[in-house]
């Protein structure tokens, strides 16, 4: 539970931070605010009453404290949770530097990513297998938007009917990562899959429920399909293949996104095209796919 801050200057900084992350469009806003609130509360408890008096050693001591702090289940914070704290504080200091509340930032020690799980990708043949095992227009549309359009899970969940411009051959992602907007080109196959779902399934569902719904993906009750449910649809398709190797890969919707990125690069798509297609703001993120693709080619040959 978030503890109330005693220092008025800290409360003002936290308020500025809330506005900052809301403007940026970050999805985990509550967690980021709570993380920074905990940091400021820790400063108060350690008799540090001004943000300008915080030293690099204080930040290091704080992360040492987090690493040993017990959770509600009497365990310790996971590496993922520590990374979230790390990112939240990085944003906090970025905002303070821009607003002039501090004159310099701090060195935040990077976490070791050596043991980080690498998302699995599917081969072209495995993607074909998924398509062949879809049993409804909805299922096929889920695969087409996840793979053929490379959307993130939350982007699929947020997709509205007005975002589909089949006449222009594009799909508009209005709320991508960081609140960024992008236009995704649609292939003829994807357009066909989207139209079939709209005409053969979605329209009948809307008429039966007698209500307008802006969401593109709908559940049986005519409401927006949650990201977790979209992922469940993909899992159902995967288990239907009865392919043990494919099932053991633990594929998620985001893995479809990784797969299309790899396949586009292998097909000779330009680096900048793939970067825009995926909605990556930083070149280094797309570069990961290039490195993996080259590594895979080396292993194959």
244 shares a domain with 147: yes
Cβ 194 vs Cβ 186: under 8 Å: yes
Interval 277-297 mean pLDDT = 50
Number of residues that this document lists for the chain: 301
Interval 215-234 mean pLDDT = 93
For residue 152, tell me if it sits in a domain: yes
Residue 10: name the closest of 96, 73, 87, 84 by CA. Answer: 96
Distance CA 73, CA 64 (A): 19
134 shares a domain with 77: no
Angle (nearest 5°) at CA 292 between 289 and 294: 110
155 shares a domain with 262: yes
Indicate if the alpha-carbon torsion angle 138, 142, 144, 149 is positive or negative: positive
The maximal CA–CA distance of the chain, rounded, in angstroms, is 65
**The two three-digit tokens of residue 271, written as one number:** 């680096």
pLDDT digits (tens, 9 = 90+) for 30-82: 888 999 999 999 999 999 999 988 888 888 889 889 888 887 766 788 877 88
Percent share of the chain, pLDDT over 90: 43
Domain interval for residue 76: 8-99
Domain count, the chain: 2
Residue 20: name the closest of 109, 90, 110, 108 by CA. Answer: 90
pLDDT digits (tens, 9 = 90+) for 150-208: 999 999 999 999 999 999 999 999 877 767 788 899 999 999 999 999 999 998 888 77
pTM to 2 decimal places: 0.58
Query: Catalytic residues, which ones?
Result: 152, 177, 254, 257, 280, 289
Task: Read off the CATH number of the domain in which 63 is found.
Answer: 1.10.150
């Amino acid at each position: 539970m978030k503890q109330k801050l005693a220092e008025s200057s800290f409360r003002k900084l936290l308020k500025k931070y809330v506005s900052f992350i809301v403007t940026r469009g970050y999805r985990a806003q509550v967690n980021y605010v709570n993380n920074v609130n905990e940091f400021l509360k820790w400063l108060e408890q350690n008799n540090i009453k001004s943000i300008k008096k915080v030293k690099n050693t204080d930040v290091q001591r704080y992360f040492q404290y987090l690493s040993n702090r017990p959770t509600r289940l009497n365990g310790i914070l996971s590496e993922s949770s520590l990374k979230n704290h790390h990112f939240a504080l990085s944003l906090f200091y970025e905002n303070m530097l821009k607003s002039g509340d501090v004159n310099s930032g701090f060195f935040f020690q990077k976490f070791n990513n050596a043991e980080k799980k690498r998302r699995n990708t599917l081969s072209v043949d495995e993607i074909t297998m998924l398509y062949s095992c879809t049993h409804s227009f909805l299922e096929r549309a889920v695969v087409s938007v996840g793979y053929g359009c490379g959307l993130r899970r939350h982007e699929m969940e947020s997709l509205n009917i007005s975002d589909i411009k089949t006449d222009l051959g594009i799909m508009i992602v209005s709320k991508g990562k960081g609140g960024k907007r992008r236009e995704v080109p649609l292939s003829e196959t994807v357009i066909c899959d989207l139209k079939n779902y709209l005409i053969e399934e979605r329209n009948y569902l809307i008429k039966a429920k007698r209500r307008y719904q802006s969401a593109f993906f709908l559940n049986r009750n005519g409401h927006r399909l949650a990201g977790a449910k979209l992922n469940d649809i993909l899992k159902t398709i995967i288990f239907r293949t009865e392919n043990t190797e494919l099932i053991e890969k633990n594929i998620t919707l985001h893995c479809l996104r990784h797969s299309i990125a790899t396949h586009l690069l292998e097909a000779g798509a330009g680096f900048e095209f793939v970067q825009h297609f995926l909605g990556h703001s930083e070149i280094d993120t797309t570069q990961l796919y290039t490195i993996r693709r080259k590594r895979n080619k080396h292993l194959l040959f």
